[in-house]
């Protein structure tokens, strides 16, 4: 198939023209890499995604997972591509070289995996193994690293993340799984975990489960939680596999989408002999698990971006091919020829809305991960703190905003298809079903909003939030110097100012004892902030594109403000079409989507608390 997964031109524009990610090669850790190598990696990722992963999307959805005699069997089509995936090293692209990884920057891991995550059911298996391995790499003992990491990094062994219980989902501190200390220093686990993605599978010979539990006698709440390594098969001293550990897969959940992903209920220690090793220090389980949770939140945000990308590109192709109705200029002429529906204004509105959202979310995702790479590698402590802080503040935005907007893009893509989109004849209905879960798992989007206002805005006494605003204002100041972008820069500046004012307003509410105002409006505020940050990303891109387009039009002897000439040149030059598309996406979003924040601000400042004042009995008779 042709590539309808990721706009490769846009991805490389963001990476190398906007963010200049190739400058990471100046750090000693990445000195063996180059921009050419980065581009080669992305080209190979595209090839693998188009030729191997996308063709399994529909088949894996129809086949799903099966539980037979306590063993989960994933879709058969996953076995071949999992083997190829690991052989190519896609599962360990940014893992440490000392354990078999490739040691690439995290931004390149995210960019490569943007090609794969459209089939999240498949991508979740190697992704969880990678995340569990990273947890052991950071917090494990040297013995644990040597025992588990080489085979986890190679993809021979998988992983999962076992947090949720029937009575303790978001309220993790209420978990009841217990760990019993043994004379030899190991533990025995007993309890039930549910909604465990990749809780079992037949792709790898072993699965290493990080499991949250409370050691007998430790205090209630999150402060008393520890984390344990619980292997499916125990590992002997010589590295061979021993007995099957004492836990069982109770069932696989029947879900709306991602049918190829095994979402399991796991019963640990029904026979009292579920072996476990402590990971890190006792009663530090939540702190340790948060590393994997934050990585999973970025991965879930990426799921939103990739779902939106593939849905938009498929809808765009369909609107170019589907003939229906006459041109608006000839709508009264019954003999007028039928035109492709991309010619109709409302379809163009939907397409440009999708385009601007996809491109801003992609930039946001890659910008945040670049901040993480810089923070982890710079010797400048002030720069490290700044970049790490921006990454922290943006994490709940990436998880919540990108997954909710990602779903809305898939929904809008379906609308472009009309009735066909609602039928399984076209893949857009699966894109929509597979994406919906992203706003729910890894901490619901409402929880992300509470994390944003309750923790992230106030980190370092608000310094991290101010660092983010500083970056936005710098981009605004730069764009103001360009006549064609001055009006857009002013609109983004208003948005950044409104964001700062809302932060101060929430702080004043807290001091006045009106804490329900920020809490009750946490989600609207997060979505408002997501739109402002997205407008900043698009303005930044527009400045880069404007400068490139100016050079191209000068070569052609055309005024950059002459839209008719630009449109004519766009038919001949892909670069002119691309850069002008960047300008139009930024202008559309900033002029049509960004103003939506005004209504959100008015609603929040009204201090209406109907959501809390209404009696439970009054919601329905």
Active site residues: 442
Contact 557, 550 (CB under 8 A): no
> Is 451 exposed, middle or buried, given 0-12, 13-18 or 19+ CB atoms closer than 10 A?
buried
In angstroms, rounded to a whole number, what is the distance separating the alpha carbons of residues 71 and 73? Answer: 6
Angle 104-46-354 from CA coordinates, rounded to 5°: 105
In angstroms, rounded to a whole number, what is the distance separating the alpha carbons of residues 143 and 146? Answer: 5
Contact 406, 307 (CB under 8 A): yes
In angstroms, rounded to a whole number, what is the distance separating the alpha carbons of residues 117 and 121? Answer: 8
Among 394, 420, 610, which Cα is nearest to 516's? 610
| Token reading at 252 | 């696989």
In angstroms, rounded to a whole number, what is the distance separating the alpha carbons of residues 53 and 76? Answer: 13
In angstroms, rounded to a whole number, what is the distance separating the alpha carbons of residues 310 and 56? Answer: 15
Tokens 């070289």 sit at which residue? 97
| Token reading at 431 | 């894109």
Contact 614, 541 (CB under 8 A): no
Among 468, 471, 492, which Cα is nearest to 480's? 492
Query: Which stretches of 49-76 are DSSP H helices?
Result: 57-63
Angle 132-446-196 from CA coordinates, rounded to 5°: 30
In angstroms, rounded to a whole number, what is the distance separating the alpha carbons of residues 174 and 224? Answer: 10
**What sign has the CA pseudo-torsion 153, 150, 128, 459?**
negative
In angstroms, rounded to a whole number, what is the distance separating the alpha carbons of residues 475 and 367? Answer: 13
| Token reading at 413 | 């893509």
């Amino acid at each position: 198939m042709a590539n309808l997964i990721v706009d490769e031109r846009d991805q490389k524009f963001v990476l190398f023209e906007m963010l200049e990610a190739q400058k990471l090669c100046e750090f000693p850790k990445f000195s063996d890499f180059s921009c050419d190598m980065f581009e080669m990696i992305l080209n190979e990722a595209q090839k693998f995604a188009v030729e191997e992963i996308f063709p399994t999307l529909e088949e894996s959805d129809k086949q799903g997972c099966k539980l037979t005699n306590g063993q989960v069997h994933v879709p058969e089509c996953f076995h071949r591509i999992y083997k190829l995936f690991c052989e190519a090293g896609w599962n360990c692209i940014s893992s440490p070289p000392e354990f078999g990884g490739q040691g690439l920057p995290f931004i390149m891991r995210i960019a490569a995996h943007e090609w794969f995550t459209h089939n999240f059911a498949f991508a979740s298996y190697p992704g969880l193994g990678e995340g569990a391995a990273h947890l052991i790499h950071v917090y494990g003992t040297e013995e644990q690293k040597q025992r588990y990491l080489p085979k986890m990094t190679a993809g021979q062994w998988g992983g999962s993340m076992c947090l949720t219980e029937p009575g303790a989902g978001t309220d993790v501190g209420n978990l009841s799984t217990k760990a019993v200390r043994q004379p030899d220093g190991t533990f025995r686990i007993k309890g039930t975990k549910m909604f465990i993605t990749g809780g079992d599978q037949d792709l790898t010979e072993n699965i290493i489960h990080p499991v949250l539990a409370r050691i007998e006698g430790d205090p209630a709440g999150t402060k008393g939680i520890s984390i344990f390594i619980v292997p499916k098969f125990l590992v002997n001293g010589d590295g061979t596999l021993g007995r099957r550990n004492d836990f069982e897969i109770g069932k696989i959940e029947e879900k709306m989408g991602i049918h190829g992903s095994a979402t399991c209920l796991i019963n640990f220690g029904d026979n009292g002999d579920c072996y476990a090793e402590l990971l890190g220090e006792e009663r530090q389980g939540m702190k340790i698990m948060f590393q994997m949770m934050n990585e999973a939140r970025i991965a879930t945000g990426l799921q939103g971006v990739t779902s939106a990308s593939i849905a938009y590109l498929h809808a765009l192709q369909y609107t170019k091919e589907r003939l229906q109705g006459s041109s608006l200029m000839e709508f009264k002429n019954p003999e007028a020829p039928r035109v492709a529906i991309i010619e109709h204004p409302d379809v163009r509105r939907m397409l440009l809305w999708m385009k601007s959202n996809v491109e801003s979310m992609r930039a946001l995702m890659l910008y945040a991960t670049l901040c993480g790479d810089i923070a982890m590698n710079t010797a400048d402590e002030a720069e490290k703190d700044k970049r790490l802080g921006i990454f922290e503040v943006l994490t709940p935005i990436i998880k919540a905003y990108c997954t909710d907007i990602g779903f809305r893009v898939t929904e809008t893509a379906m609308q472009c298809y009309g009735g066909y989109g609602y039928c399984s004849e076209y893949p857009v209905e699966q894109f929509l079903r597979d994406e919906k879960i992203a706003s729910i798992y890894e901490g619901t989007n409402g929880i992300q909003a509470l994390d944003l206002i309750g923790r992230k805005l106030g980190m370092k006494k608000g310094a991290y939030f101010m660092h983010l605003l500083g970056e936005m204002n710098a981009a605004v100041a730069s764009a103001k110097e360009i006549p064609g972008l001055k009006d857009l820069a002013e609109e983004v500046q208003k948005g950044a100012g409104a964001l700062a004012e809302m932060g101060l307003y929430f702080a004043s509410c807290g001091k006045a004892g009106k804490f329900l105002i920020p809490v009750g409006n946490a989600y609207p505020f997060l979505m408002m902030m997501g739109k402002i940050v997205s407008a900043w990303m698009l303005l930044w891109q527009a400045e880069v594109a404007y400068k490139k387009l100016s050079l191209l039009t000068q070569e052609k002897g055309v005024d950059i403000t002459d839209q008719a000439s630009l449109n004519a040149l766009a038919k001949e030059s892909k670069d002119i079409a691309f850069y002008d598309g960047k300008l139009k996406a930024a202008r559309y979003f900033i002029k049509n989507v960004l103003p939506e924040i005004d209504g959100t601000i008015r609603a929040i400042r009204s201090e209406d608390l109907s959501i809390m004042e209404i009696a439970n009995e009054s919601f329905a008779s």
